[in-house]
Amino acid sequence: MSARPPIVAAEGLRKTFEGPDGGEVAALDGLTLQMRPGELTALVGPDGAGKTTLIRMVAGLLRPEAGTLQVLGRDVTADPQGVQDRISYMPQRFGLYDDLSVQENLDLYADLHGVPGEERRERFARMLEMTDLARFTARPAGKLSGGMKQKLGLACTLVRSPELLLLDEPSVGVDPLSRRDLWKIVQQLVDEEQLSVLVSTAYMDEAERCAQVWVLNRGKVLDRGTPEELRARARGLTFLAVPPAGMRARELQARMVDAPREVVDAVPAGGRVRFIRQPGADEAALGTLLAGAELLPREEELEDTFMMLLRQHAAETAGDPAAAPAPAPALDPARGAAPAAAAGPVIEVRDLVRKFGDFTAVASTSFDVMPGEIFGLLGPNGAGKTTTFRMLCGLLPATSGKLDVGGRDLRSARARARAGIGYVSQKFALYGNLSVRENLEFFGGAYGLRGRALKARVAAALEEFELDPGARSGDLPAGYKQRLAMAAGLLHQPGILFLDEPTSGIDPLARRAFWRTITALSAQGVTVIVTTHFMEEAEYCDRIAIQDAGEMLIIGTPREVRAEAGTAGTDMNAAFIGIVEQARARRRDAEAAA
Amino acid sequence: MAGALAYLAQILFLIRKELRDLFKDRSSRALLIAPAIIQSLLFGYGGTFDLTHVPYALLDQSRGSASRELVARLDGTGVFEREATLSSASQIAGQIDAGRVLLAVSIPPDFETLLAAGSEAPVQVILDGRNSATASAAAGYVASVVAAFNAERGNAPAVTIDRRAWFNPNLQSRWNLMPALIAALSMLQTLMLSAMSVAREREQGTFDQLLVTPLTPTQILIGKALPTMAVGILQSTLIFLVILFWFRIPISGSVPLLYLGLASFTLASVGIGLSISAVSLNMQQAMLYTFLLVMPLMLLSGMITPVANMPEILQIATYANPLRFGIDLVRRVYLEGAGLSDIAFDFVPLLCIAAVTLPLAAWLFRNRLS
Amino acid sequence: MRLSGTLSRLAALTRKETRQMLRDRSNLMVGFLLPLVLILLFGYGLSFDVKDARIAVVMQNDSLPAREAAMGLTGSDYLSPVWIHSMQQAEEMMMAGEVDAILRVPHDFLRQLALGDARVQLILNGVDSNTASSVESYVSGALAVPFAQLADRRGGKAASSGQAVIVQRTWFNEPGESTWFLVPGLIVLILTLVGALLTSLLVAREWERGTMESLFVTPVRPLELVLSKLAPYMVIGAIDLAMCLATARWLFEVPMRGSLAAIVGVSMLYLLVSLSLGLLISAAMRNQFAASQLALLTSFMPAIMLSGFVFDLRNVPVVIQVVSQFLPATHFMGLIKTLFMAGDNWPEIWRTSAILALYAVILIALTRRALKKKLD
């Protein structure tokens, strides 16, 4: 097997981009990598690791400044078209034509790749079946949900069987169900056609499925190996901590995350805290930190190794922001918009309905959110989460029902009422042309901050989110854009925070830091409503609701939801998929009966 | 009081953001300033009906003293430039067809004899009519040269008309066109900028982010309108300076009044632009709708052809055209030295347009269903 | 094998562009509605021909000869005189824009007439110099007959010496109709606009929406992208051209002395140039906002102002003539007027076609370069 020549061979690749201050930033810094044919190879790494740059280079879209790159046995720098004729590439933001239908998009790419008629019919049938898009062939791509778009993108990329498939973060912003489908398709093609796939991902469970995993950071390879080999690096260091009665898992987790000398990483999971201890941690210090929590060893996972590698690398290159998790934000205790009466719910939604024409995006939805609560709104793409969000924020009128945010309906309330909320949208929605500081100043000003107060808040936000004030916002890597969006949404210290998929597309490290901020805010009484596709993040929530096809399927604490799903163990992902699929099956039965 | 201050401060932040966005990088700055100057220079020289060079061909078959005198008069105007001296009538067509000459003057062999006999001596003038305006202007020049020739020979008419032109003593068309450009060029930019501004924010998702802030639609409107107006007026100023100092067309009216007029004109343009922006789904649409509108607005403004020459129904339609009144305002203040009372009427349609379009745009910000 | 690949990709891309074009109503509005509006405006709305110019007549001498002379104004179709008592009032009317000119017959008209040196004063509002010149010539035309009569009455034939008279002939546009040269010019304007507007955002949009990156990693060649984006808009332009030609022929009855084949051929060539220019802007800017600004600056105003459409290029300084020679519109404008009014002038047709073809090749080559498959 190892006798076959590598399908991608990179040697000492280097690529720099101009940094915000005019200096050079190395996206790839002498990177050397080989990829074997006929298997899945994963690129994992934090934001700015160079994953996208590498993939674009393999696709012949970027020219290396130094080093050599052989793809399919050819020098891609010398003959990019020769390589492009044989590979398929799905960029992070796949270029679907929104105004063309699903079928027309597929036809276009099939024509461009010169797929002959007979083969095409077969391939289309298979792709449509795999992606479950057969019912929607006439629908314009712009009207598909995010997950469906991503599946269509993959289908367009796979209209013919390429010699090499490049996938750049294919599952960003995709719900667990679609993600599962997506991977099923890829896996099937690898198994049946010996497809060679190079995929970059922020999900460690996806990397686990790959034959080879390359961990990148700052343009360099940190480590490589099979998932098993990599997992072994964390052996003996992984545990579960069961918090003592009366302590919330995320409170314990917060303490542990703040102690980088003893703990590499900690996340809440199923009412407990999964953590990795530092190899040379002081037992006594660890004991104090755990505060009487019961310790259970657990099996190591790829994510554990990943976190360890990154923390190590960060510690070696001192001054790296990843070295220490973000400190809890220093916040002003006097919060203007925080609800005075802590007793009642701060958000009340009753029988909320939203229709677009004859399509019901949100069907009779009711829920309450209590002050200081972290409320998670989960659901597949297109389930109506974003529509619900937009109604809550007053961006979209409700067709019927009652909406009450901080005692008011934001759609009809005076503009001042919106001063109490913060909103971070799914898509990066800040001014790409302006610098980080200019964006923050603007949004601070729009929320009524001025003078010294504004300056202080901007300075605090820059520090808290580790942002370079002079950088042009549009040029930031995805993760930093997300941080900037968060910073802008939090600048005015809102009492209620709406976060629409705030962590999609950002790496595990940044997600930890992000959730550290959120839990700290919540501890200070800020109400947070958040949507996410990372099911493990649901563990941070006090309560979660799962929505599908506009309907509310379940509301409860993460533990209750897991119990309801009847899935054993602590896997929130499985619980989510279980609940949605059960509901869908019930609906199909009802439709069949009707 | 504090509330009002906060309200204004928020608007200031919006304005600063818009200006930063507009003037951020050098290429966008250049795109806002250079075209105004380049266009006003180009069009100042290019946009003229005044004949300065009339190439002509001469076919003098008379070759007498009278014909020589007539030709000397033609050549002496400095306008007529003899491109060719022909020897036969058959050569005329070649010269005119190729566009080498605008006209041919043919003096017949019996010219001298007829004049001496005291009768009418025909001079044939053949004009290239492909541009009828130029042709008729050239014909007028020839006629005045011939009239002077006749007068010299003792054929003075009984009554002469003393012509005097107010406001533009030499009747130069540049004087007519250039002040119109102060309004027209800046309208093109303001419409485009304001139409693109909201459409761009929608396309990039920032508009939602704006709408969830405590900013009111009115604040957003003001925050969008003022910077665009400032750019429009900046461009007007650049063109104004070119006209005043480069082309040296003297201004007779008051500069503050000129700016008052420009401000209300720009306000109306921005109102239209923002309304286009609010109905457009994306930037492509905003641009195309802008053009769909801007072309008729330009043509029906009186910039090139006077409104009074248009059919009645189109003249009525021009009441909805801010450019018509903008141009009228600028021309009259600039050239005629009109006072506020003379042009007061021009403000009415402009302010009406602004009063309709601006609230409409603000309402559409929030109520346009995506 | 390679050729068939190119052809099938071209077909697929063209199909895609056509669908996208047809699905956005704003495209069709600019493609069809705008030309129609322009045709009608140019045909009916715009005119340099002054009609009903208002003239304040101030009779400071009320003698019979003076009145007879001034009555000449009422005979003109173009003038509508109003009789005003005082010069002050007339001047106020002129300031207020109520009249276009003042004709003053002075106190000493009769006395001076006897001396053979009578004068009347014509004061024009020079703001609109074109109208002012027209009014001047209408007034002198209208007064010529009564003045001649006055001269006759004063002393028979004043002139014993002969005088030169002009026998004027205007070639190509005998009636001197402005529509005869505006309508051919309109073809230039419409093809310029359609080209620059419809294509100038096409590529920039694909850059902004990320579809370009996906297209790049397919066997598509840059030239195929360029050609497929031109094709559907060529069809729109061709329909516009047909619309222009039909209205020119049957609605405005502008003569078409050149051959239809030559007119259509050269127009399509110019359309290609115009579309390619829009596409180049779009490909080079990669940003819809900047592309729209640049398209505006390079297409519309220059085509109106500098192509010889309205303003004759012979009147402008050399520098501007040189600038105008760089505009493809200028070359096309000269030829299309000739083709309409003068007829097929083959040397000019070949020369202009060669220039336009050169432009097309250069622009397409540059666009292709701008679309070279690189992100850095």
Mutate to test the interface with C, among B159, B289, B346 (most CBs of C within 10 A): B159
Distance from CA of B214 to the nearest CA of C (A): 28
User: How many angstroms separate the CA atoms of C246 and A420, rounded?
Assistant: 63
Of the partner residues A427, A428, A447, the one whose CB lies closest to the CB of residue B213 = A447
What CA–CA distance (Å, rounded) separates A484 from A486?
5
Beta carbons within 8 Å of C232's beta carbon, 6+ residues apart: C14, C17, C18, C21
For residue C77, the domain's CATH number is 3.40.1710.10
- Across the interface, whether the CB atoms of A417 and B214 are under 8 A apart is answered yes
* CB contacts, 8 Å: C92 with chain B: none
C157 assigned to some structural domain: no
Residue A108, token pair as written in the block:
């276009």
C168 touches chain B (CB under 8 A): yes
| C212 and C306 assigned to the same domain | yes
Nearest Cα to Cα of residue C269 among C328, C152, C329, C357: C357
| Contact by Cβ (8 Å): C207, C287 | yes
- Between C170 and A328, residue with greater pLDDT: C170
Instruction: State residue B174's pLDDT score.
Output: 85
Residues C118 and C80 occupy one common structural domain: yes
E-only strand ranges, B9-97: 54-60, 80-85
| Tally: H helices and E strands in chain A | 18, 23
Least confident of A576-585, B316-325, C144-153: C144-153
User: Is the Cβ of C286 closer than 8 Å to some Cβ of chain A?
Assistant: no
With beta carbons under 8 A apart, name residues in chain B contacting C127: 167-168, 175-176, 331-332, 335-336
Q: Find tokens 């203007």 and name the residue.
A: A336
Cβ pair C104, C123 in contact under 8 A: yes
User: Smallest CA–CA separation between B10 and chain A, in Å?
Assistant: 5
Same domain as C304, residue C364: yes
Taking CA atoms, C109 is separated from C69, C101, C114, in Å, by 11, 19, 9
Burial class (CB in 10 A: 0-12, 13-18, 19+), C165: middle
In a domain, C163, yes or no: no
Q: Are C187 and C336 in contact (CB under 8 A)?
A: yes
Q: With an 8 Å Cβ cutoff, are A111 and C8 in contact?
A: yes
Does a structural domain hold residue C81? yes
Q: Any idea what DSSP says for residue C316? A: S
Q: How far apart are CA C154 and CA B158, in angstroms?
A: 9
Q: Could you report the per-residue pLDDT of C97-144, keeping only the tens digit for each?
A: 888 899 999 998 888 888 877 888 999 888 888 788 888 888 888 887
Among the partner residues B125, B157, B308, nearest to C166 by beta-carbon distance: B125
Delimit the CATH 3.40.1710.10 region(s) of chain B: 54-152
Domain-embedded: residue C155: no
Interface test with B, best of A421, A423, A431, A490 (most B CBs within 10 A): A431
The helix or strand, by DSSP H or E, that contains position A70, with its residue range, turns out to be strand A66-71
Strands C53-59 and C101-105: parallel
Which residues, 6+ apart, have CB-to-CB distance to A517 below 8 Å? A326, A328, A329, A464, A486, A490
pLDDT tens digits, B169-192: 877 888 888 899 999 988 988 998
| Residues C128 and C204 both lie in one domain | no
Q: Does C159 touch chain B (CB under 8 A)?
A: yes
Residues in chain C, how many?
376
Contact at 8 Å (CB) between A507 and A46? yes
Tell me which residue of A207, A182, A73, A175 sits closest to A537, measured CA to CA.
Answer: A175
Task: Sort out which chain B residues have CB atoms less than 8 A from A442's CB and list them.
Answer: 13-14, 16-17
8 Å CB contact of C376 and A63: yes
Q: Do both C238 and C344 map to the same domain?
A: yes
CB contact under 8 A, C310 and B304: yes
**Chain A interface test: which of B212, B218, B284, B366 (most A C-beta within 10 Å):** B212
Question: A119-143 burial, b for 16+ CB within 10 Å, e for fewer?
Answer: ebeebbeebbebbebeebeeebbeb
> Going by CATH, does the domain composed of B54-152 fall within 3.40.1710.10?
yes
Name the fold adopted by A8-225.
Rossmann fold (3.40.50)
* Cα distance between residue C88 and residue A480, in whole Å: 74
Q: Output phi, psi for A75, to 5 deg.
A: -80, 110
Contact between A530 and A499 (Cβ < 8 Å): yes
Of the residues A359, A414, A418, A472, the best mutation for testing chain B's interface (the one with the most B CB atoms within 10 Å of its CB) is A418
Long-range pairs, C247-251, Cβ under 8 A, ≥24 = C247/C39, C247/C43, C247/C183, C248/C183, C248/C184, C248/C187, C248/C340, C251/C43
Task: Please report whether residue C181 resides in a domain.
Answer: yes
Please state the domain count of chain C.
Answer: 2
Domain co-membership, C183 together with C124: no
| Residue that is written with structure tokens 């000119």 in the block | C101
What whole-number distance in Å separates Cα of residue A588 and Cα of residue A570?
28
Sheet holding A220-225, edge to edge: A87-90, A164-168, A197-201, A40-44, A212-217, A220-225
CB A354 within 8 A of CB A396: yes
Tens digits of per-residue pLDDT, C304-332?
778 888 787 777 888 888 888 899 999 99
- Per-residue pLDDT, averaged over C355-371, amounts to 94
Nearest to B209 among A430, A441, A445 (CB): A430
Tell me which residues of chain C, numbers 189 to 248, contact chain B at a CB-CB cutoff of 8 Å: 193, 197-198, 200-201, 205, 208
Q: How far apart are CA A523 and CA B344, in angstroms?
A: 63
Break chain A into its structural domains and give their ranges. Answer: 8-225, 347-427+434-593
Residue pLDDT, tens place only, B204-228: 888 888 888 888 889 999 999 999 9
A neighbours by CB contacts (3+ pairs under 8 Å)? B, C
Whether the per-residue pLDDT at C7 is higher than 70: the answer is yes
Give the residue on B whose Cα is nearest the Cα of C37.
B296
> From the CA of C74, how many Å to the nearest CA of chain B?
17
A177 to chain C nearest CA, in Å?
25
User: From first to last of its 594 residues, what are the pLDDT tens digits of chain A?
Assistant: 456 789 999 999 999 887 656 667 888 999 999 999 989 999 998 877 889 899 999 999 999 999 999 999 999 999 888 999 899 999 887 778 988 999 999 999 999 988 888 889 988 998 888 888 888 899 999 888 878 888 899 999 988 889 999 999 888 878 888 888 889 889 988 898 889 999 998 888 889 999 999 999 888 999 999 999 999 988 888 998 888 888 888 888 888 888 888 888 888 887 788 899 888 888 888 888 887 888 888 888 898 999 899 888 877 775 544 444 444 444 444 344 444 445 688 999 999 999 888 888 898 889 999 998 999 999 888 788 888 888 888 888 888 998 888 887 777 777 777 888 899 887 778 888 899 999 999 999 998 888 899 999 999 999 888 888 888 888 887 778 888 888 898 888 899 999 988 887 777 777 888 888 888 888 888 999 999 888 888 889 999 999 988 888 999 988 888 888 876 556 788 888 888 888 889 988 888 887
Looking at chain C, which subunits does it touch, using at least 3 CB pairs closer than 8 Å as the criterion?
A: A, B
Contacts of residue A393, defined as CB under 8 A and 6 or more positions apart, other chains included, come to: A410, A418, A421, A423, A498, B212
Q: Compute the Cα dihedral for A579, A581, A585, A587 and give only its sign.
A: positive
Give the Å distances, CA to CA, from A205 to A50, A508, A571: 20, 12, 12
Kindly list the distances between the CA atom of residue C299 and the CA atoms of B287, C33, C198, in Å, as whole numbers in the listed order: 14, 19, 12
- Can you name the residues that pair with C169 across neighbouring β-strands? B126
8 A C-beta contact, residue A517 and residue A493: no
Here the tokens at position B6 are 């906060």
Task: For chain B, give the number of residues.
Answer: 370
Which residues from A are below 8 Å from B204, CB to CB? 429, 432
Q: How far is C21 from chain A (nearest CA, A)?
A: 10
8 Å CB contact between A72 and A86:
yes
CA A565 to chain centre: 24
Token look-up 């105007």 returns: B77
Residue C1, min C-alpha distance to chain B (Å): 38
Answer whether C376 sits within 8 Å of A108, measured CB to CB: no
Q: Please state, in angstroms and rounded to a whole number, the distance separating the CA atoms of residues C194 and B95.
A: 35
Tell me the DSSP string of B160-215: EEEEEEESSTT--HHHHHHHHHHHHHHHHHHHHHHHHHHHHHHHHTHHHHHHTSS-
Cβ atoms C226, C202 nearer than 8 A? no
ipTM: 0.81
Q: Which two tokens stand for residue A92?
A: 């992070």
Measuring CA to CA, which residue among C187, C282, C261, C268 is closest to residue C233?
C268
Average pLDDT over residues C252-272: 92
Residue C89's domain spans which residues?
Answer: 53-149
Q: Tokens in use for B154? A: 């003792």
Considering only residues C359 and A294, tell me which one the structure prediction assigns the higher pLDDT. C359
In this prediction, residue B60 carries a pLDDT of 92
Residues 271-290 of C with CB under 8 A from B: 288-290
**Fold identical between A8-225 and A347-427+434-593?**
yes
Under 8 Å between Cβ of A525 and A371: yes
CA distances from B31 to B276, C28, C296 (A): 22, 28, 11
What is the rounded CA–CA span in Å between residue B131 and residue C311?
9
Mark whether C322 and C207 lie in a shared domain: yes
Q: Considering the domain boundaries, does residue C162 fall inside one?
A: no
- Confidence (pLDDT) at C243: 93
Pick from C26, C213, C229, C371 the residue to mutate for testing the A interface (most A CBs within 10 Å): C213
Q: Which residues of A touch C375 (CB under 8 A)?
A: 56, 61-62
Instruction: State the nearest Cα–Cα gap between A497 and chain B, in angstroms.
Output: 12
Q: Is C181 within 8 Å of B132 when comparing Cβ atoms?
A: yes
Of B52, B188, B291, nearest to C34 by CB-CB distance is B291
Q: Do C213 and C328 belong together in one domain?
A: yes
Written as six digits, the tokens of C146 are: 């009564």
Any CB–CB contact under 8 A between A50 and chain C?
no
| Pair of tokens at residue A22 | 């005019």
Question: Tokens 């599946």, residue?
Answer: A151
Chain A residues touching residue B202 (CB < 8 angstroms): none
Name, in order, each residue with C-beta under 8 angstroms of B86's C-beta and a sequence gap of 6 or more.
B57, B58, B59, B92, B95, B104
Fold of A347-427+434-593: Rossmann fold (3.40.50)
Closest residue of B to C26, CA-based?
B285
- What pLDDT sits at residue A430? 86
Residues of B in contact with C300 (CB under 8 A): 291, 295
Which pLDDT score, from 0 to 100, does residue A216 have? Answer: 92
Determine the distance in angstroms separating the CA of B310 from the nearest CA of chain C, rounded to an integer.
Answer: 5
Which of B149, B166, B295 is the closest to C125 by Cβ? Answer: B166
C115 interfacial to chain B (CB closer than 8 Å):
no
Chain A contact set for B216 (CB, 8 A): 415
What is the pLDDT at residue A568?
A: 56
**CB < 8 Å from B in window 6-45 of C:** 24, 26-27, 29-30, 33-34, 37-38, 41-42, 44-45
Number of H helices, E strands in chain B: 14, 5
CB of C233 closer than 8 Å to CB of C199: yes
Same domain, C348 and C209: yes
**Orientation angle between helical segments C328-337 and C318-325, nearest 10 degrees:** 90
